[in-house]
Amino acid sequence: MTVLFDTCALISLLNEKATCHVSAEQCLRKLAEGKHRVMISPLTLAEYGVKGNLADVYAQPFRIPNFGVPHAEKAAKFRAVTCDAKKVERKEPHDRQFIATDTMILAQAAAEQVDCVLTNDTRTFTRTAEALKKAGEILPNVVLLNDDLLYHLGLTSQRNFDFEK
Amino acid sequence: MVVFFGVLNYEVTRDTLTKYLGQWRRLVGKNVDIKLENGSIKATMTAPLALIMGLVADCDHYAKGQTAEIPEERLSVFLQMEQDAKEGLRQYGVTCEGKQCLRIGSDIHRKAVRNRVEEAELEMEGTVTDAGGEGSPNIHLSNERGKYTISVDRHFLEELSENILYKTIRVLVKCKYDVVKQVYKDYTLKEIVDMPVLDEQKLTAAIKQGTKDWQGVDDPYEWLVSVRGGEE
């Protein structure tokens, strides 16, 4: 299995105080243990590097494929879809529907034949993925960094239900 | 019966007719007889059903902009007609049994894309199911997505220190990316990639440093929204 950490997931992994840090760290360990491929996009580096130390990222078992022609071609196709979707789906004038970086990260994941993209962005990233899927694009599964993450990734057979809720 | 036609806005010359016939012939192949109708710029073709069906299907694909489905030779004729139509305000068309299959004219705007391939690199993982070959050495890599034939240098196979047959390996390949069909093809091995290993000490140090760097950013999404530019 190939899993891509988006920028939110990477920051959550390396910041102990982040809300989903435990899930992200547990996930990386399980993936490494199972010798699965873990990937990040260079676009994520451009964001992580604003505050974080990129040498720490390079020291982790991530593959960082270049953003090349296949990714750019796919991104252009995806952005055409999100631009069309935006015209019909915008609810508020200032509502951010789709963000270019999300579309490009998803395009790179799709072109790299990634199986799952990890994120804790329940807003623009998941919205972008939904719009693309609706338009018939083939995308990796977008999995949220929540307590059931390992189950969703197929790394455990037990679901982590919260019975108190 | 398939009818090709052209509409010109100037006097027809012998050269123009020759060009038309040449283009139409390239659409259907050299062995099919195309007859020019007397007093018009129409030509008729009678050919085996399979050929006519193929041409009609390609006309339909072209009309819908599905250029990836059209053979290169035929697509280049359509694109040339498109160019001629734009430059000379001409119209071209193909009809089959009286029904129009395609019309190309300066008034019709299509996004026609020529098939093209670009160089790309891809990392793949899979089980080696075969390795060798006399003329063109290759390895067969099999994974959940399918089976891939990857060309390798003969020396690569000769100099392998361990048997890779039936073992799972990760490779970096050079390949071609078909831009229109959005598929990879023609894989050539660049290198075998080591399986990355998680270094506990490095992860712990990175989390320590990261926690310091990202102090105050408990919700990465909120921070990202603030640094990212506007929406699309």
pLDDT at position B145: 84
Q: Which residue in B168, B177, B176 sits closest to B144, CA to CA?
A: B168
Locate A154 and state its tokens: 């197929």
- Decide: B224 and A121 in contact? Cβ < 8 Å: yes
Flag whether pLDDT at B231 surpasses 90.
no
Residues of B in contact with A139 (CB under 8 A): none
Please tell me the total count of domains within chain A. 1
Residue type, B77: V
d(CA B1, CA B201): 76
Of B182, B198, B209, the CB nearest to A29: B198
What is the arithmetic mean of pLDDT over B116-135?
89
Residue B28 reports pLDDT greater than 70: yes
Residue A92 included in any domain: yes
Nearest CA in chain B to A74: B182
* DSSP per-residue string spanning A64-121: -----HHHHHHHHHHHHHHHHHHHHH--STT-----HHHHHHHHHHHHTT-SEEEE--
The answer to whether the predicted template modeling score (pTM) of the entire model surpasses 0.90 is no
Q: Which residues of B touch A65 (CB under 8 A)?
A: 121, 123
B118: nearest CA in chain A?
A: A69
Q: Do A15 and B195 touch (CB under 8 A)?
A: no
Counting residues of chain B whose pLDDT is more than 90, the rounded percentage is: 26
Does some domain include residue A160?
A: no
Q: Which of residues 54-113 of A touch B (CB under 8 A)?
A: 56-57, 59-63, 65-66, 68-70, 73-74, 77, 79, 82-83, 86, 96-101, 103, 111-113
A157 assigned to some structural domain: no
Cβ <8 Å between B123 and A112: yes
Q: What's the pLDDT score for residue A164?
A: 34
Number of C-beta neighbours around residue B73 at 10 A: 10
- Residues of chain A in contact with residue B203, where contact means CB-CB under 8 angstroms, are 25, 28, 59-60
Residue A100 lies in a domain: yes
What pLDDT digit, counting tens, does each position of B165-174 carry?
999 999 999 9
| B194 DSSP assignment | P
Mean pLDDT of chain B: 83
Give the pLDDT band (50/70/90) at residue B29: confident
pLDDT value at position A100? 85
Chain A residues closer than 8 Å to B177 by CB:
69-70, 73
Q: For each of chain A's 165 residues, which pLDDT tens digit applies?
A: 889 999 999 999 999 999 889 989 999 999 998 888 899 999 999 999 999 999 999 999 999 999 998 999 899 989 888 887 776 655 555 556 788 889 999 999 999 989 999 998 888 888 899 999 988 888 999 998 876 777 777 777 666 544 333
Query: What pLDDT, on the 0 to 100 scale, is given for residue A162?
Result: 45
Q: Nearest Cβ partner of A51 from B195, B214, B218?
A: B214
**DSSP symbol at A61:** S
Nearest CB to A52 within list B179, B182, B214: B214
CB-based contacts of A31: which residues, under 8 Å, 6+ apart? A1, A3, A38, A153, A155
* Distance of alpha carbon A146 from alpha carbon B210, whole angstroms: 20
d(CA B34, CA B43): 6
d(CA A108, CA A75): 7
> Any idea how long chain A is?
165
Q: Is the pLDDT of residue B9 over 70?
A: no
Whole-number Å distance between alpha carbons of B170 and A15: 30
Cα B64–B106–B65 angle (5° rounding)?
15
Task: Inform me whether the pLDDT recorded for B92 exceeds 50.
Answer: yes
Q: What is the pLDDT of residue B8?
A: 54
Residue A97 lies in a domain: yes
Nearest in space to B203 (alpha carbons), one of A156, A32, A154: A32
**B220-227 and A7-14 helices cross at what angle (nearest 10)?**
130
| Phi, psi angles (nearest 5°) of residue A74 | -65, -40
- The verdict on residue A64 lying in a domain is yes
Cα of B96 to nearest chain A Cα, Å: 32
Q: Which of B197, B213, B221 sits opposite A61 (nearest CB)?
A: B197
Quick check: A3 contacting B, CB < 8 Å?
A: no
Q: How confident is the model at residue B61 (pLDDT cuts 50, 70, 90)?
A: confident
Give the count of beta carbons closer than 10 Å to the beta carbon of residue B10.
Answer: 9
CA angle B195, B197, B199 (to 5 degrees): 165
A164 part of a folded domain: no
> What is the distance between the alpha carbons of residues A119 and B11, in angstroms, rounded to a whole number?
65
Question: What CATH number has the domain bearing residue A26?
Answer: 3.40.50.1010
Which position has the higher pLDDT, B198 or B19? B198
- What range does the domain containing A67 cover? 2-152
Residue of B122, B169, B213, B227 to mutate, testing the A interface (most A Cβ within 10 Å of its Cβ): B213
A87 domain-assigned = yes
In the DSSP assignment, the letter for residue A13 is H
pLDDT at B115: 67
